[in-house]
Amino acid sequence: MNTDKVKELDRNYLFQNYGRQELCFKHGEKEFLYDLDDRRYIDLVAGIAVNSLGYAHPAITQIIAEQSKRLIHVSNLYLVKEQAEAAAALASVCPSPLSSTLFVNSGTEANEAALKLAFKRTGRSRVVATYNSFHGRTSGALSVTGQSKYQEGFEPLISEAVDLIDYGNVEQLKDAVTKDTAALILEPIQGEGGVILAEREFFRTARDLCDERGALFICDEVQTGMCRTGRFFGFQHYDVVPDIISLAKALGNGYPIGAIVTSGEIASTFTPGAHGTTFGGNPLGTAIAKTVIETMVDEKIDAQVAEKGSRWMSMLHDIMDRSEGRIKEIRGQGLLIGIEMGKHAKDVQTLALDNGILVNVCAGSVVRLIPPLILSESSILAFNDVLNQFLE
Ligand SMILES: Cc1ncc(COP(=O)(O)O)c(C=O)c1O
C-alpha cells in the first residue's frame, strides 16, 4: 500500500480531527523513521516526546514479545505482579515521599486522577492552574488547560472552579492559592504552550504556599518526566518535591500508559472503589514501564540528556547569534528545546522535511525539538545544518 492509498482510507473512514502531515511510516530504528517508500527520516519529534529510548530498542521489543506471550491483561480484580514491580521501580527513581503509584492509560487520565485525588483528600474543590498550560482533553483536565482554543465549544467544564494565573508570576500565585484551593497544577516546563520555562522561585513559592494553605501541589510531568529535561523529573531542577506527579508519554516508550505517584499517606485517600480503570496497570504495559525505567537508569539517560542538551543549546545559541534577529529566542532544558522563529516556524519545518528531518511546530511560532533521548551527534548536526541553510 502506498501513501496515497492510506490518505484515501484516512479521508473516507477516519474522523478528520487531526491536521496530519502527508507522511506514513513503516518502521523505525533508534532515532530514524522509514516511510512506505523506505525513505529515511531523522525524527526529532519522537511521537511527541514519547519514544524516548528510540524505535525498536532491543530491551523494549524483547519485553513486549516475552510478556505478550505470557499475559497481556488480567484486570485489577487480582494482584498484578508486573504492576507491583513497575511501581517499585518508579518509587526507586522518585524522591521521598513519592512512593505510591496508580497506573492509568494516558497523560490526561493521570491528571484527571490527580485532580480527583486532590479534591477528595482536601475536601475542597478549587484548582489553581496557569494560562498557556496543557493538561489534557477530558473535562477535568481540559478545565485546567489554560488555553481557550481547546475549551471553546465544550463548556460547561469545571472552569468555574479554576483560578488561572500567568505561568511564572509569583505575586499572582500568592493571591490565587487560598484555603479553598484543593490543588495547584503546574508543568515544570510548558511544553505544548511553546517550551516556556519559569524561575526556580516560582516553584519554591508554589511548594511553600501549598504547605501553608493546605493545598496539594501537582506537577504534570507527562512531557517533562522520564529524563526528558536531563533529570529524571522536571521538578528536580527546582529543588522541590510535589505532592503528586503525573506521568505518561515516555513511561511506555510508545505503549499507552500513564501514572500518578504520590506519598503513601495521600494515596490512602483512594480507598477500594474510589477510583479505577479496566486497562490501567495491565501486565504488558507495566512490564514495559518497568523495563523503560530500568533501561533509563542503566544507560544513565538523564546524564546523557543533560550533556547532549546543553551542548546542543550552546550550538543553537551560536546559530541564533548569527541569525540577525530571525531566531528570536532559544529556550529549553535537556532535550526539550524550543526555537522561537516568529512567522517562520513552518518554513523551518518544511525545509527540515525536505532534508529528511521531522520537527514539530507548537504555539504557532516555535520549532520544538523533542527527539528520542538516545539520538546521535550526527542527527543533531544535521538539524543545525538545516537551520543554517534556512538563515542563508
Ligand atoms: C504536559 C502534558 N500533560 C498532559 C498531556 C495529555 O497527555 P495524553 O495526550 O497522553 O492524554 C500532554 C500531552 O501532550 C502534556 O504535554
CATH number for 285 = 3.40.640.10
With respect to residue 26, please indicate whether it lies within any of the assigned structural domains: yes
> Distances in Å between the alpha carbon of 328 and those of 184, 336, 339, 353, 365?
31, 17, 8, 22, 10
Indicate whether 129 and 202 sit together in one domain.
yes
Do 139 and 182 share a domain, yes or no?
A: yes
Q: Give pLDDT, residue 106.
A: 98
Claim to verify: residue 305 and residue 241 sit in the same structural domain: no
- Identify the domain boundary among 298, 316, 343: 298
Atom 3 (ligand 1): residue with closest C-alpha? Answer: 135
The reply to whether 65 falls in a domain is no
> How many residues are listed for the chain in this entry?
392
How many whole angstroms from 5 Cα to the centroid of ligand 1?
A: 30
Asked if the structure places residue 62 within a domain, the reply is: no
Q: Tell me, yes or no, whether 270 and 385 share the same domain.
A: no
Strand partners, 34: 27, 40
DSSP result, 31-83: TEEEETT--EEEESSHHHHT-TT-BT-HHHHHHHHHHHHH-S---TTS--HHH
H/E segment holding residue 380 = helix 377-391
3-state secondary structure 257-324: CEEEEECHHHHCCCCCCCCCCCCCCCHHHHHHHHHHHHHHHHCCHHHHHHHHHHHHHHHHHHHHHCCC
At residue 206, the pLDDT reads 98
pLDDT for residue 143: 80
Nearest CA to ligand 1 atom 4: 135
Residue 106 CA: nearest ligand 1 atom is: 10
The pLDDT score that the predictor gives to residue 154 is 67
Q: What is the C-alpha separation between 366 and 203, in angstroms, rounded?
A: 24
Residue 228: what pLDDT?
A: 98
Question: 147, 192, 221: which to mutate for ligand 1, most atoms within 8 A of CB?
Answer: 192
Shared-domain flag, residues 250 and 374: no
For residues 202 and 199, what is the distance between their CA atoms, to the nearest angstrom? Answer: 6
Residue in the structure block whose three cell numbers are 500518578: 260
Instruction: Specify the pTM.
Output: 0.97
The residue among 277, 298, 319 that closes a domain is 298
Q: How many domains does the chain have?
A: 2
pLDDT at residue number 142: 80
What pLDDT was estimated at residue 81? 98
Distance of CA 286 from the midpoint of ligand 1 (Å):
19
Could you tell me the distance, in angstroms and rounded to a whole number, from the CA of residue 193 to the centre of ligand 1? 11
Run of H or E residues at 25: strand 25-29
Q: Which of 105, 112, 115, 135 to mutate to test the pocket of ligand 1 (most atoms within 8 A of CB)?
A: 135
Give the range of the structural domain holding residue 383, as residue numbers without chain letter. Answer: 3-57+301-391
**Which ligand 1 atom is nearest residue 187's CA?**
1
User: Is 337 a domain residue?
Assistant: yes
Intervals of the chain under pLDDT 50: none
The set of residues, in sequence order, having a beta carbon less than 8 Å from that of 273 and lying 6+ positions away, is none
What gap in Å lies between CA 368 and CA 341, rounded to an integer?
Answer: 10
**End residue of a domain, out of 298, 322, 352:** 298
Distance from residue 110's CA to the centre of ligand 1 (Å): 9
CATH of residue 327's domain is: 3.90.1150.10
Residues 177, 228: Cα–Cα separation, whole Å: 29
In this structure, the answer to whether residues 340 and 361 fall within a common structural domain is yes
Cβ < 6 A, ligand 1 pocket: 48, 106-108, 111, 134-136, 187, 191-192, 220, 222-223, 248
Q: Ligand 1: distance of its center to the CA of 92 in Å? A: 24
- CA distances for 290 relative to 90, 155, 299, 375, angstroms: 8, 38, 14, 22
Give the number of the atom of ligand 1 that is nearest the alpha carbon of residue 192. Answer: 16
DSSP assignment of 206-270: HHHHHHHHT-EEEEE-TTTTTTTTSSSSGGGGGT---SEEEE-GGGGBTB--EEEEE-HHHHTTS
Element (H, E) at 383: helix 377-391
| Cα-to-centroid distance, 222 and ligand 1 (Å) | 6
* Cα 136 to ligand 1 centre (Å): 5
Q: What is the pLDDT of residues 22-56, one digit of tens each?
A: 999 999 999 999 999 999 999 999 999 999 999 99
How big is the CA angle at 245 (ends 240 and 247), to the nearest 5 degrees? 130
36 shares its domain with 168: no
253 and 377 co-located in one domain: no
Listed residue (392, 364, 369) closest to 380, CA to CA = 369
